[in-house]
Amino acid sequence: MPTFLFGLPLHPLVVHAVVVLVPVAVLGALAVALWPAARRRWGWAVVVVVALATVSVPLATSTGEGLEHNLPRSAAIATHAELGDQLLVVVAPLLLVVLALVLVERSRRAEGPGSAVAVRGTVRRVAIIGLAVATVLLAGAAAVQVVRIGDSGARAAWGDIQYTPQPRSR
């Protein structure tokens, strides 16, 4: 993946996909985990958004690594890179559990009323609860991690620059 496009570093441009898609994926994942009607209606759309978020993470880390090699080494950049590398470890499993949750929900609907054996229904309910809990935990971890990465990236890029207005002296 190129590091620069028309003389501009590609990483700040690509990273916006992560900044938008991961929080949207988190919100969608929480909705389908906690609200069965949303799972039935929007489950597949959420799977697509989480998949896009998952794909955007390695693109951002790849362009970030290219940029990192063109910048002077610093502790702030190293921290940002380390945190960025950890995001895929959270978002990829989120994709898997959301997909599993939607598939289990779909299998429930495919059987229709009265055709499920009681044990199958109980197992399915337990699976849905377990997948919903895993989804909530992974979504929370993804949200926290994307904030940590963004904060460390801003600190690496801007350092100690303050953008708050200074009080005026009289």
Residue 164 lies in a domain: no
**Where in the sequence is the domain holding 119, given as residue range(s)?**
4-158
CB neighbours (10 Å) of residue 42? 16
Residue 166 lies in a domain: no
Residue 18 lies in a domain: yes
Residue 154 lies in a domain: yes
Contact yes or no for 3/66 (Cβ under 8 A): yes
pLDDT at 9: 81
User: Residue-wise pLDDT tens for the chain (170 aa)?
Assistant: 777 778 778 888 889 999 999 999 999 999 999 999 999 999 999 999 999 999 999 999 998 888 888 788 888 888 989 999 999 999 999 999 999 999 998 887 666 555 544 447 788 899 999 999 999 999 999 999 999 999 999 888 887 665 566 677 66
pLDDT at 11: 86
Residue 165 lies in a domain: no
Residue 163 lies in a domain: no
- For residue 145 the two structure tokens come to 């991690």
pLDDT at 116: 47
pLDDT at 164: 64
Residue 69 lies in a domain: yes
4 bridge partner residues: 9
pLDDT at 6: 80
pTM: 0.84
Query: How many structural domains comprise the chain?
Result: 1
Residue 143 lies in a domain: yes
Report how far residue 142's alpha carbon sits from residue 103's, in angstroms, rounded to the nearest whole number: 22
